[in-house]
């Protein structure tokens, strides 16, 4: 019995030591069956990185449960967790999704329209003409009012300018540009109907303004994961 116990302990100790040992992982990055070069491969756990060569291939030291991030500015970033199977196969294949092509933003600074000239008399003429169609207006019965009073008393007020506030959607654009389409559902476990609410929740945090000033993939990801924890706790409180 004692021998069996020692054997079991030794086996688990051996497995643990293997899982904690760094090994070199070989892999390739593709998109729609085309190899991708110069993709940044980041081991977020070990804080190391490398890039793919002209054949889309890369090598990087990893351990089981390490998080690898694959980043290229024209593609949605991909985050994967290394398993024992990945290390044993040593033929890691990553398929990245191309971002949709974005049109250049057009900013209209000033729009000029031809001014329409209209006087108070012009407005009064329209109102008097309308009144002329009224049966009471044509009866001739005096109601102690001045027939041309409209021309005298009708004020022509200038149009008041309305201030239109443009919503700041820079954070939303940054998140959409960085994160793949299924990131919210697959990684953050956020339902589609909660996505807009979550982005507003993130935008309310002053730290989001720092991200906009200095956009960074890793910093944005860490921010979203941290806000997701707060968001889930807030939902739990509301339910209770």
CB-based contact 82:64 (threshold 8 Å): yes
Q: What is the pLDDT of residue 174?
A: 85
Residue 93 region, left (φ>0) first, then alpha (ψ -120 to 50), else beta? beta
Which tokens hold the place of 61? Answer: 């030291």
- Give the pLDDT score at 27: 93
| Residue ranges covered by each domain of the chain | 16-95, 120-153, 170-239
CATH ID of 16-95, from 3.40.50.300, 3.40.640.10, 3.40.50.1100, 2.60.40.10: 2.60.40.10
pLDDT in tens, 217-227: 888 888 888 88
Closest to 79 in 3D by CA, of 34, 45, 32, 37: 45
Q: Are 72 and 36 in contact (CB under 8 A)?
A: yes
Helix, coil or strand: residue 219: helix
Model pLDDT, residue 177: 82
Angle at which helix 170-178 crosses helix 195-203, to 10 degrees, equals: 120
Nearest to 229 by CA among 198, 192, 197, 208: 198
pLDDT at 96: 92
Q: What pLDDT, on the 0 to 100 scale, is given for residue 163?
A: 56
Residues of the chain with pLDDT under 70: 1-20, 101-167, 237-240
Tell me the backbone φ, ψ of residue 162, rounded to 5 degrees.
-95, 135
- The tens digit of pLDDT for each residue in 24-37 reads 999 999 998 899 99
Q: Residue 103 has what pLDDT?
A: 56
| Distance (Å, whole) CA 71 – CA 101 | 17
pLDDT of residue 30: 93
């Amino acid at each position: 019995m004692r021998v069996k116990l020692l054997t079991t302990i030794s086996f688990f100790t051996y497995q643990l030591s293997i899982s904690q040992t760094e090994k070199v992982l070989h892999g390739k990055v593709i998109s729609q069956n085309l190899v991708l070069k110069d993709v940044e491969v980041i081991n977020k756990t070990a804080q190391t990185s490398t890039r793919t060569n002209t054949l889309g291939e890369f090598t990087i030291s990893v351990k089981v449960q390490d998080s690898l991030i694959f980043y290229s500015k024209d593609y949605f970033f991909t985050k994967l967790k290394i398993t024992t199977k990945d290390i044993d196969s040593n033929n890691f294949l990553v398929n990245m999704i191309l971002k949709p092509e974005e049109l250049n933003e057009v900013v209209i600074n000033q729009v000029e329209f031809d001014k329409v000239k209209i006087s108070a008399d012009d407005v009064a003429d329209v109102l008097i003409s309308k009144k002329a169609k009224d049966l009471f207006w044509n009866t001739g019965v005096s109601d102690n009012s001045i027939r041309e009073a409209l021309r005298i008393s009708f004020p022509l007020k200038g149009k008041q300018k309305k201030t239109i506030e443009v919503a700041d959607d820079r954070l939303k654009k940054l998140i959409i540009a960085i994160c793949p389409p299924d990131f919210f559902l697959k990684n953050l476990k956020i339902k589609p109907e909660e996505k807009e609410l979550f982005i507003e929740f993130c935008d309310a945090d002053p730290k989001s303004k720092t991200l906009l000033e200095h956009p960074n993939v890793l910093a944005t990801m860490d921010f979203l994961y941290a806000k997701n924890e707060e968001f889930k706790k807030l939902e739990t409180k509301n339910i209770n």
